[in-house]
Amino acid sequence: MSEVAASNDLFSYLDFAPGADVREAGEIMRGTGVCVLRSVFPPEFIDYLKFCVSMGFDLADARSKFFGYTGLNQFRADFVERDFVLYREILEMIAPLGFHPHGVIEAAVKASPVYHAMQAYFQTSECDTVQQLMVARRQRPKARTSVLPFHQDVANYVHASFVNLWVPLIACGQDAASLELVPVATDELLSLTSRSDSLHPTVEVDEETVFSRFGSECYRPVLAPGDVVLFNQHTIHRTYMPPAASQTRLSIEIRMCDHFNPTPY
């Protein structure tokens, strides 16, 4: 059995098949900080998102190359090629082309079982998407700098309380990068690395700190487009790059909060 399959067996209690009681998933998440819901978004929705996200990256890359070519790059440091694009930037780039995905995303989330899991997790009747906290990500197999080390999303957004609906737009965990998550709920903000060579010094938590506090059994879900990983602002996680990865992974992070207890962002 492969290492990843073994890891999936160990964490089958976090893995909810289509038709499972997703309210239970939301409640389990209160104890583990993470769960996976299978096949919750239809292929048409995933295709639409993939199209919007790919277009966002294509435009960002073209812009970056163009400014490099004109020499204007020196004045436009924000146009360097990146492996994440803020969701709001994607909206700005593609709105002039007639694409307005936000209504589609809100409607798809509200019509999916994910929404019931969110209601159970937040113990609320209504949840909202938080556009400012949403990001699309591209993980190329050879790119090293965008592989995120262990972190908690709250490090970037102190005081915020949200759930990340991490939506893979291609199959991941074998041929493309997935996530590695520590299935232990905590509301502690862990201390950041003191390593001077960290590529992500504003979020990185040392692996030794994580393993000594929580053990080294991490959940590395193998995911299909349409599945969603749910985890909260304190959940410890990092990019998992399978040794055989050859595909570029695209994903979108839809972040949601309790409508009656909104995040300050």
* CA dihedral for 240, 245, 246, 247, sign (positive or negative): negative
Residue 82 CA to residue 39 CA, distance in Å, equals 29
Q: Given the structure tokens 């599945």, which residue do they identify?
A: 227
Query: Which tokens is 32 given?
Result: 């583990």
Contacts to ligand AKG from residues 103-142, by CB under 6 A = 137, 139
| Candidate list 115, 122, 166, 219; residue touching ligand AKG; CB under 6 A | 166
Between 33 and 67, name the residue whose CB sits nearer to ligand AKG.
33
CB of 57 to ligand AKG, least distance (A): 14
Sequence-separated (6 or more) residues with CB below 8 Å from residue 50: 169, 170, 225, 250
Closer by beta carbon to Fe ion, 67 or else 150: 150
Shortest CB 246 distance to Fe ion, Å: 24
- Cβ of residue 62: shortest distance to Fe ion, in angstroms? 27
Give the residue ranges of DSSP H helices in the chain.
3-10, 22-32, 43-70, 87-94, 101-111, 113-122, 207-214
Identified binder of ligand AKG from the candidate list 239, 247, 248, 265, rule CB under 6 A: 239
Which C-beta is closer to ligand AKG: that of 87 or that of 166? 166
Among residues 153 and 227, whose Cβ is nearest to Fe ion? 153
What residues between 117 and 156 interact with Fe ion by CB under 5 A? 153
